A and B are shown apart, each in its own frame.
Chain A
Amino acid sequence: MALKIEARRQISTRMLYMTPFIAVAATVVAGFFLFMMLGADPFEALYVFFISPLETKYGLSELGVKAAPLIMIAIGLALGYRANIWNIGAEGQLTLGAVCGGAVALAFWEEQGLYILPLMALAGMAGGAAYAAIPAFLKTKFNVNEILTSLMLTYVATLFLAVLVFGPLKDPMGFNFPQSRMFSDSATLPIIWEETRLHIGFVVALLAAVAGWVLLTRSIIGFQIRTLGSAPAAARYAGFDRTRLTWFCLMLTGALAGLAGTFEVAGPIGQLVPNISPGYGFTAIIVAFLGRLHPLGIIASGLLMALSYMGGENAQINLSLPQAVTGVFQGMLLFFLLASDFLVRYRVRRVKPLAEGV
């Protein structure tokens, strides 16, 4: 008896939706050994990492706080990745969104009014989209690889934020700390669960996911995006405008990432600081893949990745493990997902060697 690998005639839809679960299971098993190597009791550590954050009101609310930016960004990324447009600079677009939204908040620091938050949201989306327009322009005009340009701009964005909080936007009464004033109440997001930090941004993220789903499955542009990714030749033959789709995907992701950035500074943080995001823009890449580039799947994978941040924090507090465990878990999860994707396109069959048949 031997094993034979053969290509499936069609990709297996069942496997396509199974692989995230396989990947999560494999990550838990690998995590077991990782914790053992780090000298912790693996059962206790897995419990602390994956279960304990869900046991308290604080934990559940923080799950929403961290999932909101991940879901928002991943929705945009997923549309792009479906069309083979590889924006990996969402972290920079988030930063620019936070800067623009935050600048509005600081400009209206002494004002009050319901118009301030929508204005901030618009500014944040515009900032993120404008920043994503740079790789879009270079890609469509000069055919410059968007992977490298969007990533390089992330470093530039972080430095730009630092220039502002160390300079013009620094709190004049802040003892020279590199941070802005605290935003006024009118520039702070409403809380939707009392006594927690869970803000309206979580609801916006869920709405964005539903809107993304409608866009992808029910609209012409969604159809064009799906065709461009799965059958580029057909898309060309049908006359789909690749330039327009590239602009659309990049600007949409930029706007969503910018909105997520604005929500971070207007919500949990409440001011501009040098470090706004613990890598949400990069983790959202995993969220998009783990959610199978499907807007509704992204809600689930966004919550799971939020849990990995919480788990890392809890492991640090309760077991004094380094918080970097989170990054290792996230990386492993993506590895296992990509590996198990093999089962979507191929199957392993047992075949009898010829001699045995006689």
Chain B
Amino acid sequence: MNIDTLLPMLLTVIAAATPLLLAAIGELVTEKSGVLNLGVEGMMLVGAVIAFAVTVGTGSAILGIIAAAFAGIALSLVFGLLTLTLMANQVATGLALTIFGIGVSSLIGSSYIGTPVEKLAVLHIPGLSDIPVLGPLLFGHDILVYASVAITVLVAWFLKSSRAGLILRAVGESDLSAHSIGYDVIKVRYLAVMFGGLCSGIAGAYLSLSYTPMWVEGMTAGRGWIALALVAFASWRPWRVLGGAYIFGGVTILQLYLQGAGGIGIPAQVMNMLPYLATIIVLTVISAGPWRGRLDAPACLGKPFRPAS
């Protein structure tokens, strides 16, 4: 395998990893505050269709991405209202959000099936993008690829080194203590849930504007759920989410290349099972491995909190 075949392969790995990374880093922040939002898949789908519709309508992909971010936030606020204000069960509400998202996205998208849209443009950086090999690999991407890495860096810094990040982690580890020293647990969690919605919306936008620039019903194909698995896989650490997303991107692309290689006589559908099976295997390994019990899940994950008044 020479550089001419390796390079496009690496580029597709980055493309496959980006939506996973965006959705997972958002969910990581949500979960760090102690909230489990299983609605990632639904928020991604709505983000994808809104981004597509707005881009087709206005001709501006940037507006499409912004609209997708707001759509994700709007859905996450519904989730927040139910689970944080009305203290509904987080698992059930997350499922409801996904079911609702699937419905809403196919309703909005029904008139956009078959409509083409221009693929999100590559940000050309004069000089850097023109370097052979390294240029396209590091500086030949669209804005959302850079955004996904930038957000990861910011989240890593925010959680580790900022005061607000410390408060967020405190809320997720011990809501009662955080509340008793005067922090507004519900407000912090609302903000964390909204950030998760924003990231999921953008992740969806990447799918419909860049990964496969079109709208297809259910086009996330379980990526929202894989992102949820990635957060656990990464032991709730931002850098590991980055690594995990790229490993999963690699698995996705590997099956495409194996299909392309043909000859081995395995039906395409069997290859398509790979990412899902890989998710199950990875979850099993991290749950069963020697590091069991040190998974670092936030202590209050999934538990409702209501300040005594």
Residues of chain A at the chain B interface (Cβ within 8 Å): 5, 7, 86, 88, 138, 141-145, 147-149, 151-153, 155-156, 159-160, 162-163, 166-167, 282-283, 285-286, 289, 322, 324-332, 334-335, 338-339, 341-342, 345-346
Contact = CB atoms under 8 A, between A and B. Distances in A.
B141 to A, nearest CB: 28
B280 A149 contact: yes
B99 A327 contact: yes
A338 B93 contact: yes
Interface string B81-112: 11000111101110111011111101100110
Nearest to B104: A328
Contact of A338 (B92, B107, B225, B273): B92
B106 A324 contact: yes
Interface of B: 38, 78, 81-82, 86-89, 91-93, 95-97, 99-104, 106-107, 110-111, 221-222, 225-226, 228-229, 232, 267, 269-270, 272-273, 276-277, 279-280, 283-284, 287-288, 292, 306, 309
A356 to B, nearest CB: 20
Nearest to A327: B103
A335 B79 CA distance: 9
Contact of A335 (B100, B102, B106, B225): B100
Given A328-B100, A330-B103, A338-B96, A160 B269 contact: yes
Given A138-B284, A147-B91, A159-B272, A152 B222 contact: yes
B82 A331 contact: no
Contacts of A335: 78, 82, 93, 96, 100
Nearest to B110: A322
Given A86-B91, A155-B222, A324 B103 contact: yes
B271 to A, nearest CB: 9
Contacts of A327: 99-100, 102-104, 106-107
Contact of A147 (B38, B89, B103): B38
17 contacts: A142-B287, A144-B283, A144-B287, A156-B273, A156-B276, A166-B269, A289-B92, A324-B103, A324-B106, A327-B99, A328-B100, A331-B101, A332-B100, A338-B86, A338-B88, A339-B86, A346-B87
A163 B270 contact: yes
B283 A149 contact: yes
Given A335-B82, A335-B96, A338-B96, A144 B89 contact: no
Contacts of B269: 159-160, 162-163, 166
Report which residue of A286, A326, A328, A341 has the largest number of chain B beta carbons within 10 angstroms of its beta carbon.
A328
Nearest to B86: A342
Nearest to A155: B276
A142 B291 CA distance: 12
Contacts of B103: 324-331
Given A163-B267, A330-B100, A339-B86, 12 more contacts: A144-B280, A152-B222, A152-B225, A153-B280, A156-B276, A159-B273, A331-B99, A332-B100, A335-B96, A335-B100, A338-B86, A338-B92
A339 B95 CA distance: 14
Contacts of B93: 335, 338
A346 B85 CA distance: 12
Nearest to A139: B287
A162 to B, nearest CB: 5
Contacts of A282: 99
A162 B272 CA distance: 11
A283 B95 CA distance: 11
Contacts of B81: 339
Contact of B87 (A151, A285, A345): A345
B276 A152 contact: yes
A332 B276 CA distance: 29
B100 A148 contact: no
Nearest to B221: A155
Given A144-B287, A159-B269, A159-B272, A342 B277 contact: no
B107 A143 contact: no
Given A324-B106, A325-B107, A285 B99 contact: yes
Contacts of B270: 159, 163
B89 A338 contact: yes
Nearest to B102: A327
Given A142-B288, A328-B100, A335-B96, A151 B272 contact: no
Report which residue of A144, A145, A341, A345 has the largest number of chain B beta carbons within 10 angstroms of its beta carbon.
A144
A350 to B, nearest CB: 16
Contacts of A160: 269, 273
Contacts of B111: 322
Contacts of B276: 152-153, 155-156
A342 B100 CA distance: 20
B16 to A, nearest CB: 16
A322 B283 contact: no
Given A156-B277, A160-B269, A144 B99 contact: no
A166 B267 contact: yes
Nearest to B93: A338
Given A156-B276, A338-B88, A331 B287 contact: no
Lowest 9 CB-CB distances: which A-B pairs, in order?
Answer: A327-B103, A331-B100, A324-B106, A142-B288, A322-B110, A334-B96, A324-B107, A328-B103, A338-B88
A159 B91 CA distance: 26
A175 to B, nearest CB: 20
B255 to A, nearest CB: 11
B225 A322 contact: no
A142 B221 CA distance: 26
A147 B240 CA distance: 22
Nearest to B295: A143
A322 B228 CA distance: 30
B104 A138 contact: no
Given A138-B284, A159-B272, A338-B89, A152 B279 contact: yes
A339 B280 contact: no
A159 B101 CA distance: 23
A160 B88 CA distance: 36
Given A156-B277, A324-B106, A328-B107, A342 B88 contact: yes
